[in-house]
Amino acid sequence: MTYPLAPPSATIPRATRERLAKLLAEYPSKPAALLTALYLVQAECNHLSDSVLTELADIMEMPKSVIYEVTTFYSLYSTRPVGNNIVMVCQNLCCFLRGSDDVMMAVARELGIKPGETTADGKFTLRPVECLAACERAPAIQINDKLMGPVAPADIPRILAEYRR
């Protein structure tokens, strides 16, 4: 298989395109690799902008509308710039009943932003998510790849301090 090299005005860097080509070679079809491809490109480009989605649709040989639908369906992906640290607060029933709203407000207060926003310094994005699959740890939060819980509002300053360094 061959994949298009990055045009001069490419948004997706050449090195990312090369990693993407290797990834696609591991899957039986391009659609089967879509979720992982989106994750890879987002990790290297910060977010999935309109121009990135257009290029990815060309690479994946899929309609941009399909790529966009998948991107906006899953809370894992973002079409807007995100901070270096993504703070996800579970909002599912189990976490909600155990105080996730109070945890969300504690994070928002500590960071000085509202849910869905990114701090001015670009260090944190606060994202409410439907489920972190950690009901046994409710209320649960996840920062980047680290899942934590149960978390109390009083724990938030200490937890965030680890990521402010």
**Mind listing the pLDDT tens digit for each residue in 7-26?**
445 689 999 999 999 999 99
Indicate the domain borders of the chain.
14-73, 85-164
Please return the burial class of 5, using the count of CB atoms within 10 Å of its CB with bins 0-12, 13-18 and 19+: exposed
pTM (2 d.p.): 0.75
Q: CATH topology for 85-164?
A: Glutaredoxin (3.40.30)
DSSP percent split of the chain into helix, strand, coil, nearest 5: 50, 10, 40
Q: Which amino acid is at 19?
A: R
The side-by-side arrangement of strands in the sheet containing 85-90 is 124-129, 85-90, 141-143, 146-148
Per-residue pLDDT reduced to its tens digit, 102-140:
999 999 999 999 999 999 999 999 999 988 999 999 999
Instruction: Give the per-residue pLDDT at 69.
Output: 95
